[in-house]
Structure 1
Amino acid sequence: MTRFVHSRYCSFLIMLLGLLLNACESKNEFIAPPPPEVTVSLPTQQSVTEYLEFTGTTQSVGYAEVRARVSGILESMHFVPGVHVEQGDLLFIIDPEPYEAELEAAKAELVSAKAEASRTQTELERADQLIKKNYISKTDHLRRKTERDVAQASIGLKAAKVHSAEIQLEYTQVVAPISGRVSRNMVDIGNLVGEGEATLLTTVTQYKPMYVYFHLNERDLLSLMTLRQEVAEKEGHDTDETSDNELNIPLDMGLADEDGYPHKGVLDFGESELNTSTGTIELRGVFANAEKPARLLPGLFTRLRLPIGQTPDALLISERAIAADQSGQYLLVVNKENKVEKRLVTLGQRLDGRVVIEQGIKANDKVIINGLQKARPGSVVNPQTDSTAG
């Protein structure tokens, strides 16, 4: 009986040991994780304008220093600093009394000269009659003719003096030489100005339109020259006789606090030769600056772009798909076996969060745009298509 119990006990232990071994084997079995999920997108194909991009500086189209052209006491000021003035508007008055007196004296001298000329003319006419009867000598006749000529010449001198006095009197009213925004007064009322020098009284800056100057390197210059030739031929112009602004080559501009290029202008002028020291040429654009108040002020740094061509079927992909390492910039592409491939790419223009891929991918490539951190070249992934993300 005891032997039978012992035998049954041994069989139970063997069975329990087998179960334990099976349990351990099932726990050690490796189950491969599923491929990581990534979002892919096909590149977008569309027509894209190619641009050259620059930085530039705004400069006024007109700037004038208003100076005292006659000496005297600054009597009054007739403008508010910082406002817009039109050409010819009165800005200052310099005490006119001394110049009014000079004008009156000059006019009196002119009247005297005319009277003297009249007297000498009468004397000459009388002498003409007397010499015919030999009542006077030829010397006397010649003397009277000379006196008449001198008197007439004196009229011209006195008339010029009157005109000069009128100009001097006119200069006592200091007017705006151009239309634009007037600066503050540099001299206070009651001070002597113009004594020994043309005292600076204020300045006027013309803001509309506004120039923007920038520099172009030699390689981009050749591209622009090609564009200029194409535009001229299309519109039937002779490039040797046509200025840049007549060709209406567009130029876009943005300021430091602006997104994109909201200001539209045209290429206006280019220097005639390349600067050999810098390898660049200076160009100029002109912008209407029609906002009220004027948005553009002289001295601002700007971003500029100039269109130079059109790519009809450019490939664009989201900027977030671009990665970079020591080999350069690249995209991760999923092939037919759902394996990840690394593609070195050449980037072009950027457009609204997307970038043109000039080389490296094709239109039917599935580019990973989300989940880049999960993908490794050569690994298998589970691609999920997002047709709107390209």
Structure 2
Amino acid sequence: MKTLLKHPLIVLALGLASCGKPSSGPPPAAPMAAGPLEVGVITVKTSPVTLTQDLPGRISAFRVAEVRARVSGIVLKRLFKEGSDVKEGQVLYEIDPAQYEASLESAQGTLARAEASLNSAMLKLNRMQSLIDSRAISKQDFDEASGSKRVNEAEVLLGKAAVKTARINLDYTKVTAPITGRIGLSQVTEGAYVRTDQATLLTTVQQIDRVYVDVNQPSSDLLRLKQALTSGKLKADAAGQARVKLVYENGEIYPEEGSLEVSDVTVNTLTNSVTVRAVFPNPRNELLPGMFVRARLEEGTTPDAILVPQLAVTRNSKGEPTAMVVGAESKVELRVLETPRAVGNQWMVTSGLKAGDQLIINNLQKIRPGAPVKVAAPDSAAPAQTSSAAK
């Protein structure tokens, strides 16, 4: 028998015979049918949202006064410390007054001579008045005396004007601060010659206890804001003005709140924007002219806004924002949305979703419209009742 098993043909025949016999082990298990995919959802809810808009801008002083020479002469003294606060009327410079003192004395002398001539003419006219009544003098002589009196009266008026002008020029030798504020660098030193024909700039005073913030807002946004306020979709303060907050370059918020004062009446044709001006109190002088800031305009409040996470919104081939919701029979529905603006890390939805919709927030790459799904987690409310818009 052992000899037969060693024969190659016999071994091959036995192998072929064993292939046809059923296996004595258990049959393999059949594959299970795949169930609905589990997805996380949030229930869409409405909530009041304060609409804001951040716009870049620069700070400018509330009032700016350039101090210039109003008389020519040598600067004798500088009477202020650069960068200090000055009061309106405070003397800043002294210009050599010698020639203006002499001009004033000369004008006063001319006035005194004119007044003396007028007094003499009046006495002469009074004497001739009695003589003309008795016809002791001619009418021509009387008329000449009367005309001389009027000429002398005119000379007195001219003399008074010359004295006033000379006194004004003398006062101008003491250069005073035109407004209360912070004074800048001096543009001249003692010994410098200043001239009125060139209106020499001496220094600049800026009032910064209040400051302006000028920002450029797109004209479309300004029009949208006005339409929303008119229709009642947005609520402003009692005065009908938007409130403004200030954000530093490092992201910190300035503690004082400002108000929108005015917007330009024309649109810049190059940038299609309108300049908007806000006023901020600056009691601690923290805000300096020229600083770059962002003005956060509070446009109003939408009482029933819908906010959804940005991660739940995708875009189709047309670039339209879309979202997946759990619809009837727990099947996926595709919705095309309108998202006019971002609010923090969320989209504000104005069309495509309504309160109560179950918005799918995960497994978006694994589902398709019409596919059955299973809600994997309890509903959670849409976050953030109020936020700041980031455009």
Fold shared per TM-score above 0.5: yes
Match of 1:364 in 2: 356
Residue pair 2:211, 2:287 contacting (<8 A) in 1 also = no
Distance 2:280 2:159 in 1: 49
Which AA in structure 2 matches 1:342?
L
Partner of 2:389: none
Pair 1:105–1:51, CA change in 2 (3 A): same
SS in 2 for 1:359: coil
Normalising by structure 1, we get a TM-score of 0.76
Q: Could you say what secondary structure the match of 1:384 adopts?
A: coil
> What SS is found at the alignment partner of 1:315?
strand
Q: Which residue of 2 aligns with 1:76?
A: 77
Match of 1:76, SS state, is strand
Secondary structure, aligned partner of 2:229: helix
CA distance in 1, matches of 2:326, 2:232: 42
Q: Distance in 2 between matches of 1:343 and 1:67?
A: 67
From the two aligned structures, give the one with the greater helix fraction. 1
Write the letter of the residue equivalent to 2:193: L
- In structure 2, the CA distance between the partners of 1:198 and 1:165, relative to structure 1 (3 Å rule), is same
Residue 347 (str. 1) matches residue 333 (str. 2):
no
- Extract unaligned runs of 5+ from structure 2: 3-13, 384-391
1:92 aligned residue = 93
Q: Please say if 1:323 is aligned against 2:314.
A: yes
Structure 2 vs 1, CA of residues 74 and 144 (structure 1 numbering), >3 Å: closer, same or farther?
same
Distance verdict in 2 for CA 1:206–1:213, change over 3 Å: farther
Give the direction of change, closer, same or farther, for the CA distance of 1:181–1:39 in structure 2 (3 Å limit): farther
Change (3 A) 1:182 1:369: farther
Q: CA deviation at 1:299?
A: 6.4
Would the alpha carbon gap of residues 265 and 379 (structure 1) be closer, same or farther in structure 2, given more than 3 Å must change? same
1:56–1:304 contact (8 Å) kept in structure 2: no
Q: RMSD of aligned C-alpha atoms?
A: 4.0
Q: 2:281 and 2:239 mapped to 1: Cα distance?
A: 20
Partner of 1:242: none
Asked if structure 2 preserves the Cα contact closer than 8 Å seen for 1:250 and 1:264, the reply is no
Asked whether 1:282 is paired with 2:274, we answer yes
Question: Aligned to 2:165, what secondary structure does the other structure show?
Answer: helix
Helix, strand or coil at the partner of 2:104: helix
Q: Is the 8 A contact 2:258 2:281 kept in 1?
A: no
Task: Give the AA of the match of 2:139.
Answer: K
Q: How many residue pairs end up in the alignment? A: 363
- 2:212 maps to 210
Matches within 5 A, 1:1-390: 18=23, 21-22=25-26, 25=28, 30=31, 38-49=39-50, 55-194=56-195, 196-207=197-208, 208-217=210-219, 220-221=222-223, 224=226, 227=229, 247-255=239-247, 256-258=249-251, 264-272=257-265, 277=269, 280=272, 282-295=274-287, 297-298=289-290, 300=292, 302-305=294-297, 307=299, 310-327=301-318, 328-335=320-327, 338-370=330-362, 372=364, 377=369, 378=371, 380-388=373-381, 390=383
Give aligned-pair identity as a percent. Answer: 30
Summarize the Cα distance change of 1:254–1:330 in structure 2 as closer, same or farther, 3 Å threshold. farther
- Offset, 1:376: 5.3
Task: Please give the alpha-carbon distance, in whole angstroms, between the structure 2 residues aligned to 1:225 and 1:132.
Answer: 86
